[in-house]
Amino acid sequence: MNNPHRLNPTSLKSRFTTRFLRALTKIRAQKPISSSSPTEIFRRYRRIKVAADKSMAYSVRSRRIWSRAMLCKLRSRSYRRQDPCSGRRSGKTNQAIMKKSSNENTTTRREDGVGFVEEADELRQLVPGGETMNLCNLLDETAHYIKCLTTQVQVMKKIADFYSF
Amino acid sequence: MSGRRSGSGVSSISDDQITHLVFKLQQLIPELCARRSHKASASKVLQETCDYIRNLHKEVEDLSDRLSQLLASIDTDNDQAAIVRSLLM
């Protein structure tokens, strides 16, 4: 039975909120927010956006193809920051993910009149890890990804509103 | 290719499965879920899904932008965090 007045500590929303607030605190502590130069603001914006995606991906962990793909991408970004030559390493990891998903049914291109191959490909560009998914996985992962995105938006909106006053 | 599904030992995806997944997706998209009883075409659902995801991405970007400007006033110590969490119920 869900008590509507209590936030479930294990819910996705709760996990995301905790992580994201923690990340915001870190970002705020990193540099004194005295300068409002466009560069500084842009840097902060990038960090916050990455923190939002990171918080979401870590809240889902490796339970989903899309979250695994996103975690991989986030990790390779931080590797590249430290060492520009480690791009190859991240390439191998991506291939490992691709092998994992494409061993399953490969009928992504159906010639028996299904007729939405283009739309599916477009969707594949939008969902993390989508290029490696067969149609069934793509639809399933998309549903979960959308739920997570709406949670992300909802929480960020509440935080922004709260601190706007 | 004669249009046969390449199984290689794995059962192929059935049309029903696809239809069901597409319908499930339809119910998540605000544009389409009003038509709960009427199944939109898969092509339309996927198209609307792409637009919806793009909108959500844009919203996240806008909110990140907003938060970056508010960051100076964000004081996320434990009390504040609790307050915000309570707002999210």
Q: Is the pLDDT of residue A52 over 50?
A: yes
- Name the least confident of A69-73, A95-99, A147-151, B36-40: A95-99
Convert the pLDDT of each residue in A103-130 to its tens digit. Answer: 444 444 444 445 788 889 999 999 999 9
Q: Which of B12, B46, B60 minimises the CB distance to A123?
A: B46
Check CB contact under 8 Å for A104 and B84.
Answer: no
Q: Give the residue-averaged pLDDT of B59-88.
A: 76
Q: How far is CA B22 from CA A10, A120, A140, B46, in A?
A: 29, 11, 9, 8
Q: Is the pLDDT of residue A90 over 90?
A: no
Q: Is the pLDDT of residue A33 over 80?
A: no
The total number of structural domains that make up chain B: 1
Check CB contact under 8 Å for B71 and A48.
Answer: yes
Q: Which residues, 6+ apart, have CB-to-CB distance to A42 below 8 Å?
A: none
B4 assigned to some structural domain: no
Range of the domain at A25: 12-29+37-80+124-164
Mean pLDDT, all residues of chain A: 79
The total number of structural domains that make up chain A: 1
| The model's pTM | 0.78
A61 assigned to some structural domain: yes
Convert the pLDDT of each residue in B20-71 to its tens digit. Answer: 999 899 989 987 777 666 777 888 899 999 999 999 999 999 999 999 888 8
Output the six-digit token pair for A106.
């490969």
The CATH number of whichever domain residue B42 belongs to comes to: 4.10.280
Range of the domain at B60: 15-88
B10 assigned to some structural domain: no
**Tell me, what's the ipTM?**
0.78
- Provide the pLDDT for residue A115: 75
Q: What is the DSSP letter of A90?
A: H
Q: Which residues in chain B (32-61) have CB-CB distances under 8 A to chain A? A: 42-43, 46-47, 49-50, 52-54, 56-57, 59-61
Check CB contact under 8 Å for A49 and B61.
Answer: yes
Q: Is A114 within 8 Å of chain B by CB?
A: yes
With CA atoms as reference, the chain B residue closest to A162 would be B84
B49 assigned to some structural domain: yes
A150 assigned to some structural domain: yes
A68 assigned to some structural domain: yes
